[in-house]
Structure 1
Amino acid sequence: MRLERTKKKLSLLTIAALAAFSFGLKAQESDPLYHIVIKMDNVNKEAPAMLGFKTNTGMHIDTAFVNANNEFVFEGPIPKINRAFLNLAHEKIDPTMPPNNGDGISIYLEEGTLLIEGKDSLQTANYSGTPLNEDNNKLGAIGKAYTAKINVINNKYSKAMEAGDKELAAKMEEEYAALMDEKKQKELEFVYANNNSIVSLDWLRQNVNVIQEKSLATKVFNQFTEEVKKSPAGLIYSNILGQTKGADIGFEAPDISAKQPSGETLSLRSLRGKYVLLDFWASWCGPCRRENPNLVKSYNEFKDKNFTILGYSLDGGNKAFDNWTAAIEKDGLVWNQISDLGGWRCLPVQLYGISSVPTNFLIDPSGKIIAKNLRGADLDAKLKEILK
C-alpha cells in the first residue's frame, strides 16, 4: 500500500488547468511532421506499440508493430495538441485496444526524430533527438532519483499500518512529506533554469496548487519567457491565474459556511476577531485522526488566548452524519465543527484548492491567512509566537 493520505478531487479551476496540459508550442513551418523511432533489445514481435493523442474530434490512436530493423516507427503531422502517450505491449493483444501493462510514457509531438532506446521497457529507456522531449527526460530523471527512497518509506508505512504502529506510521508520513518537498524544490530548480521550455510550464500546472500556492505559481509563471507565456497553454494558464482568488499566505481567507451537528449554520467570517485554525479533515482519514490528539492539546492550551479551531469535515455518503459525529465524540473535538457532508464535491474544497486531508490554514483576527499545514509541535510553536 502506497503512502496515499487522501482521495483526490479536482476543483473546476484545476480541471480547466488540466485540460490545458496538453497544449504545446506550435511549430512555425507549415505541416511539420513528428517522427518517432523506438528501438528495444527484447520485444515480442506480436506485441504492438501504441501512440495516442487528443484531437478536436476525440482521441487518435496509432498502432505500430516492430519492423525488419527491429524498430517501432510512428510518423505524422503535428497536432495542435502536441502532448501524447506511448504504450508498449509485452504480449499479443487486440490492436484496437490500448495495452494495460502499465509500460507507458508521456511525450511531446514535435518536429524532428525522437529516438527511444532501451532493453525492454519505455519507462527505463533513453530519449534523444527533440528539444521538448529531452527537457522532459531531464526533468523526469530528477523524479526518478527519488523513487528508491519513496519506495522505502512506502514499504515502512505499509508495515506500520499492518502492525497497528501509529507512531511509526506518523513518522513515515512526516518523512514522506519532507522527501516530496525536497523533490519539488529540485524540480523547481530545473524549471527556473529552463524558463524557455513548455515542459517547465506543464510542470507548474501539474505540481503547484494554483489556489493554495498562488504566490509561488505567480512567481514561477512570471519568470517564463514571452514565447512560453504567449503559447496556447501559457495564455490559458495566465487567464486561470488571474481569475483565481487564492487561499495562500497573505491572502484573505475565503468565507465558508455550513451546518453544525446541531443543524445550526456557522460561518468562518463570524469568528473574525480571533485567531482561527481552519482544519479540513474527515472521519475516514487515518492521518487526520492521528493528528486530532495534537489538536486537542493545542486547543486546550491556547483556547483562552483568543484562539479557536473550526473543523470542516469532508465526510460524505449515506452514513456521513453518523460517521462525522461519532468521530467528533470519540476524538474529543470540542471546538466548532461544520460540514455540508458532500465529501469532495463541496464548495470549500474548490475555494481552498483542497486535494488532500488533513489540510489546515491559520487565520489572523482580520481574516488573513498567516500559515498553512501546521502540525503538532509546529502549530504550538507558531501559536506561542503570535499569542504572547
Structure 2
Amino acid sequence: MRRNFKILVLMLLALPFTMVKGQQAMAGRYRLVLDLHQVKGHPEMIYFWYDAFAGNERVTRVDSAVVKNNLVEFTGMIDEPQEAFLSTKRRLYRGRVNNGDRLSFYLTAGSIRIVPADSLNIYSQTGGSFSEDYRNFQEVKRFYDQQIIVAAIKVSQLDKHRDSLAYHHAAADFNKTEAFYANTICKNWVLEHPSSPVSLLPLRWYAGSVITNPGGVDSAYQSLSDTVKSLPSAMDLKRRVDNVMRSASGREAPLFSMPDTAGKLLYLSDYRGNYVLLDFWASWCAPCRRENPNVAANFRHYRSRNFVVVSVSLDNQSTKEAWLKAIQKDRLQEWPHVSDLKGFNSEAALLYGVQAVPQNFLIDPQGKIIGKNLFGTALSQKLEEVLGAGSGKGL
C-alpha cells in the first residue's frame, strides 16, 4: 500500500511538468529534416505546405527546398500544431489517393526527422509531439477513405444516368458512408482524445464545410481541454459554430450594410416588412451559377407578393469584374446585389456563418429567419407555403 502511494505521489509531481511540456509543444520553432536516401528516383526538389491562420483567414504556407546529399531541411515558426504535407510535385494536392509522391505528418514545435522508404507514402518519424495520435487517426481515416472512394467511384460511373434508380442508390450509399465517418467516427475520436490537438482534424470533418449540426459540433468542441480550445483553429471553428447558431431558423436575422454594384451602401434593415431571400453566391461558383436561373424564376413569380432577393457575392477584388459580368450574363439585374469584395471574410458571410456557397436564408417581414439553404424545388415550395393566397403580408 505504501509503495503504491509513493508511486502516486511521483506521478502527481510529474504531472505539472508533463502538462507544461505539452503546452510548450503547441507553438514555437520547428526544425524538419527529410532523409531521402531510400527513396527511388532521387527527387531533386521537395515541396512543403500546411494551413495556418492569418487573422481570421485560413491561409496555406508553402515552402520548397533543393535536395542536397539526399537531405532536405525546413525551419520556421508555428502558432499551433498542424497537419502538414511533403511532396515531390509542385501541385498542392490533398486528395485521398496517394501515388507515393507525397506524405502527410503532424507538424509541431521542436525537431522532427522523417525517413521515407522507397516512396514518400511510407515513412518512419522521430521527434514531434502527438505524432502517435496523428498516426492512429490516420489509420482510422484510411480505413473509411477506402470505403468512401469505392462509393464515390460507383457514383461517378453512373453520372451520365442521374435519373436512374441505380444512381440514386449509389449516391445514397456514398452520403451514408461519408455521414457515418463524420458524424460517428470523427465525433467519437474527438470525445476520446480531448487533450490532443489532433482532435481538431476529425472535429473539422464532423463540422463539415457547411455546419448543419451546430449544437452537436459545439458539444464536441466543449469536450476539449482548455489548452486545445485556445488554439487558433479551434477558436475559428467555435466562431463559425456561434455564427451558424446565430443564423439558425427561428432566430432574428443579423443586420448588416454593404456596398452595391455602384458603391452605394445598402442596409438589410431597409427590407424589413418584406420576405427576403438573402442569397450568398460567387461568380466562380459553378453550383451557384446553376442555381441562379431557379432564383430568378422564383423572384419573377413571387415579386408581386412582397418578395425580394438580396444577393451577397463572396467575390474579391481580383474577381470584381467577373462578378459584375455574371450578374448580366445570368440576367440577375432585377434585384439588389452587394459585396465588400472580401471573399469568405465578408462581413455578411461571417455574421451568417457562411463557409461555402451557395447558401441562402429566407427572412420573414418581422426579420426572423424562417428557412435556410432552399434550393431547386425546395425554394418554390417554401415560398408557396408562406406567400400563398391569404398566408402572407402584402398579398
Residues 377, 60 of structure 1: CA spacing in aligned structure 2 closer, same or farther, 3 A cutoff? Answer: closer
Deviation string for 1:332-351 (max 9, x for gaps)?
A: x53x2122462626432333
SS at 1:311 equivalent: strand
Distance 2:302 2:290 in 1: 20
- Aligned counterpart, 2:148: 146
- Aligned counterpart, 2:138: 137
Distance 2:237 2:23 in 1: 29
Q: How many residues align?
A: 326
Which among 243, 248, 267 is matched to residue 246 of structure 1? 243
- Whether the 8 Å contact between 2:155 and 2:171 is mirrored in structure 1 is yes
Distance 2:326 2:174 in 1: 32
Q: Could you tell me the TM-score, scaled by structure 2's length?
A: 0.58
- Aligned counterpart, 1:97: none
Residues 116, 191 of structure 1: CA spacing in aligned structure 2 closer, same or farther, 3 A cutoff? Answer: farther
1:339 aligns with 2:347: no
Which amino acid is 2:181 matched to?
K
- Whether the 8 Å contact between 1:51 and 1:63 is mirrored in structure 2 is no
Which amino acid is 2:295 matched to?
L
1:193 aligns with 2:188: yes
Deviation string for 1:228-286 (max 9, x for gaps)?
A: 34336458735873697514314432223335557754322222233321112244543
C-alpha displacement of 1:126: 9.8
Distance 2:337 2:382 in 1: 24
C-alpha displacement of 1:312: 2.3
- Whether the 8 Å contact between 2:277 and 2:309 is mirrored in structure 1 is yes
RMSD of aligned C-alpha atoms?
5.5
Structure 2 matches for 1:193-342, cutoff 5 A? 193-194=188-189, 195=191, 196=194, 197-205=196-204, 208=207, 214-224=214-224, 228-231=225-228, 233=230, 237-238=234-235, 241=238, 246-247=243-244, 248-250=247-249, 251-260=251-260, 265-315=265-315, 316=317, 317=319, 319=321, 322-327=324-329, 329=331, 334=334, 336-340=335-339, 342=341
Which amino acid is 1:375 matched to?
F
SS at 1:106 equivalent: strand
Distance 1:257 1:87 in 2: 43
Give 5+ residue unaligned stretches, structure 2.
Answer: 1-18, 26-30, 53-60, 90-99
1:87 aligns with 2:59: no
SS at 1:308 equivalent: strand
C-alpha displacement of 1:361: 1.5
Structure 2 matches for 1:107-186, cutoff 5 A? 107=106, 120-122=119-121, 131-141=132-142, 142-150=144-152, 179=174, 183-186=178-181
- Whether the 8 Å contact between 2:218 and 2:241 is mirrored in structure 1 is no
Q: Could you tell me the TM-score, scaled by structure 1's length?
A: 0.59
Give 5+ residue unaligned stretches, structure 1.
Answer: 1-24, 91-100
- Whether the 8 Å contact between 2:35 and 2:115 is mirrored in structure 1 is yes
Residues 255, 44 of structure 1: CA spacing in aligned structure 2 closer, same or farther, 3 A cutoff? Answer: same
